Structure 1
């Protein structure tokens, strides 16, 4: 499982746990990612009863917080972090709830409805990260939510074709209708003009969320500032890659490379320095 998690980390839009970070912080960030990835995999890839498996994870989380024996090794792996930093149980349970929603809610009528999904599927991770660094104040969590929502939206737009093949459409129906895009268009080998215009619109909207959350970085210090700036840089890099592909997210590679992320990171540092 460790090799699978490492491979998944390498495919993310952002650096999960920078090697320069102290060992404890890296370990806790990896544990958080491992838990989030595990829950996502149960919701996306399990061939058996996904609902039962996810509900079993939620039950294990509740046992963890009740200080009862936990048999799931991934949930148990969150134990040291939960005990040290006081990670809210709600963060871990919302990630499960997001994947339960995926099982019976494969379409979204409005952008507002999609944002509510991001509140479950992405925002809790940011709150856990801030908690790891001892920086989870209400104001910072609010800014983090904007960043995490942006990162989730950008990932959805990168994975439109893959999600459609799995029976899920995260593009809101109101936006599909507005731009004249049909669901069948999402399964094409290349994105047509209408879909590219829609992706451009959605990417711009995600970038606005990212920009609204980016001031979080300036409120942080030390390792927290370094780590969070990396996540923000990953968002800028992801948006840049989609734009350089002329918003054709069906026809080729639209995931940012390490060089893309490093360039976005350097640009962000220069922007703040100026």
Structure 2
């Protein structure tokens, strides 16, 4: 994001002043932030019609602003009490967004998105609750605990965006049609993406004192927390990671069932994003599960080469 556009988008409205960037400027700021911080996700949005991609950018930026309250370098130096107060203030501001109140340009893009694609406030509150989990919880005893966290910080994104994606009229236009429920698949894709993030970022998270891999799994595979913190690569670690990757792939598979219900102009970008993000798991395998010393990502050339395959799958489903 350029300094000029960022300043325009985040310019605060002073009491009695209507100084805000235009809606076009606000959406452009959302586009730039998405392109900078979520390259794989951004590539998928470019396959959408302009109105839908702009809405997705606005929702992404709201999610990123929420995440930054906890995960930015500046936030990590703050006491827990201050972070908790920030989250409380952000929850209030989010409730006000749903009432149409605007404080800056990024808010303006989000309010416009909510007007165009009405949706529930609850997933947004759930995501904020996920950030509250990060205030005090740095370990997860079971996968059930981790699944709840993954739903809150990522599964909610599927619920936030499903109204933007829309449904295929072929499933809804007939008088006898029953509106298909895509919520379960949308949540599953978010959880799959978050599990992928966790596996990719094990090395980075340990530096912040966080271990998201369930403690029950560490015990099951005979791999200690001390070994994880030391970045030990051994057969037990590889078996543990193979198990985690298989679990993440199961969540991706669960999400696939709902893609066929989506509007035709949303199926290709969703398939592209799904396949590209799942590709990170393949890279982890090629790195022999070394997430301590190697960053797993899909190269740009690989992303571009995969787009035609995603298109063919989208047309067939």
TM-score when scaled to structure 1? 0.89
Query: Could you tell me which residue of structure 1 aligns to residue 176 of structure 2?
Result: none
Kindly state the Cα deviation for residue 21 of structure 1 after the two structures are TM-superposed. 2.7
Query: 1:146-225 maps to which residues of 2 (within 5 A)?
Result: 146-189=188-231, 191-225=233-267
| Contiguous gaps of at least 5 residues in structure 2 | 1-5, 7-28, 169-178
Partner of 1:29: 56
> How far does the alpha carbon of each residue in 1:42-78 deviate from its partner, in whole angstroms, 9 at most, with x for none?
11121432221121111011112234x3436544431
SS at match of 1:219: coil
Of 248-257 and 171-180, deviating more is 248-257
The structural deviation recorded for 1:158 is: 0.4
Counterpart in the other structure of 2:185: 143
Report the counterpart of residue 116 of structure 1 in structure 2: 148
Asked if residue 226 in structure 1 is aligned to residue 272 in structure 2, the reply is no
2:165 is the counterpart of 1:133:
yes
Equivalent residue number for residue 53 of structure 1: 86
CA shift for structure 1 position 253: 2.3
Deviation, structure 1 residue 177: 0.8
Q: Please, which runs of 5 or more residues in structure 1 have no aligned partner?
A: none
Deviation string, structure 1 residues 214-263 (Cα, Å, up to 9, x no partner): 12222223221122112211232111111111222112121222333344
Q: Tell me if 1:250 matches 2:292.
A: yes
Indicate yes or no: 2:81 matched with 1:83: no
1:65 aligns to what? Answer: 98
Q: Aligned partners of 1:244, 1:76: CA distance in 2, in Å?
A: 43
What's 2:66 paired with?
39
Residues 153, 20 of structure 1: alpha-carbon distance in 2 compared, 3 angstrom cutoff: closer
What residue is the counterpart of 1:8 in the other structure?
37
Q: After TM superposition, give the deviation of residue 142 of structure 1 in Å.
A: 0.8
Going from structure 1 to structure 2, the CA distance change for 1:66 and 1:270 (only over 3 Å counts) comes to closer
Of the structure 1 ranges 260-269 and 125-134, higher mean CA displacement relative to structure 2 is found in: 260-269
Whether the aligned pair in 2 keeps the contact of 1:130 and 1:224 (CA below 8 Å) is no
| TM-score (normalised: structure 2) | 0.78
Q: Does 1:19 find its partner at 2:61?
A: no
Greater Cα radius of gyration, structure 1 or 2: 2
**Deviation for aligned residue 1:174:** 0.1
